[in-house]
Chain A
């Protein structure tokens, strides 16, 4: 069955380190998204991509970057992790012209 996976599921890192969270989908969807979820803020969009080599900034993109070298993967990189980036991160994908987004199981990140 097609699916969307995230790894790792849990990560502890230190302030200042570079961290990369992986997202892989097997639906062959064009669109992929990264969100963070925090108490009191709901889901906020970090970065998104509408196809290979396309990336766009969301509402909370500072300190994060993404690259889209193939259809299946959209890794999220924290250039220099900060305690404010402690959160649960969700990846999602959707097909062209389709409004339904399919979410991964999330990555819980703790920055000490």
Chain B
């Protein structure tokens, strides 16, 4: 059974600071997704990474997929209060019968 570990579990920073959080797997990811969940809402997809070494940017968010496809990082530049939320990574079983396995998530709080 694949184990996904996300770190740190909790992070509280001041607005304007940079941060990096991580998602690691005990086995190779098929592909990996990052979701953000705001309080009282369901998760929303941020990005999908597929190829080892891949880097994707979404405004101030930079996602990197490890060369060996067993780890990923999310870097936020100049964090804003709107970045507050739970960040989840998920291993994607690809194909017609796609299914996700989620990590436990990283709770990020950005203070004004």
Q: A residues within 8 Å of B by Cβ?
A: 31, 33, 35, 40-45, 48, 50, 90, 92, 94, 96-101, 103-106
Contact A106:B95 (CB < 8 A) given known A40-B104, A41-B104, A42-B103: no
Evaluate contact between B48 and A100: CB separation under 8 angstroms: yes
Tell me the count of chain B residues lying within 8 A, CB to CB, of chain A: 23
CA gap between A106 and B44 in the complex, in Å = 13
Evaluate contact between B102 and A106: CB separation under 8 angstroms: no
Query: What 0/1 readout, one digit per residue, does chain B (84-112) give for beta carbons within 8 Å of chain A?
Result: 00001000101111111111110000000
Question: Is chain A's binding surface mostly helix, strand, loop or mixed?
Answer: strand
CA gap between A10 and B110 in the complex, in Å = 28
CA gap between A92 and B88 in the complex, in Å = 15
Stretch at the interface among B13-21, B35-43, B57-65: B35-43
Evaluate contact between A42 and B98: CB separation under 8 angstroms: no
Evaluate contact between B42 and A106: CB separation under 8 angstroms: yes
When distances are taken between beta carbons in the complex, the residues of chain B under 8 Å from A44 are 102
Please pick, from B31, B43, B44, the residue contacting A43 in the complex, using a CB distance under 8 A: B43
- Say yes or no: is B33 at the interface (Cβ < 8 Å to chain A): yes
Evaluate contact between B99 and A45: CB separation under 8 angstroms: yes
When distances are taken between beta carbons in the complex, the residues of chain B under 8 Å from A31 are 97-98
Evaluate contact between B42 and A103: CB separation under 8 angstroms: yes
Most chain-B Cβ atoms within 10 A of its Cβ — which of A43, A92, A104, A106? A43
Evaluate contact between A42 and B104: CB separation under 8 angstroms: yes
- Sample of 10 more A-B contacts, CB < 8 Å, known A33-B100, A99-B98, A100-B33: A31-B97, A41-B104, A43-B43, A50-B97, A97-B96, A99-B94, A100-B45, A101-B100, A103-B44, A105-B42
Question: Which residue of A is nearest B31, CB measured?
Answer: A99
Contact A90:B105 (CB < 8 A) given known A98-B98, A99-B33: no
When distances are taken between beta carbons in the complex, the residues of chain B under 8 Å from A33 are 99-100
When distances are taken between beta carbons in the complex, the residues of chain B under 8 Å from A104 are 42
Evaluate contact between B99 and A43: CB separation under 8 angstroms: no
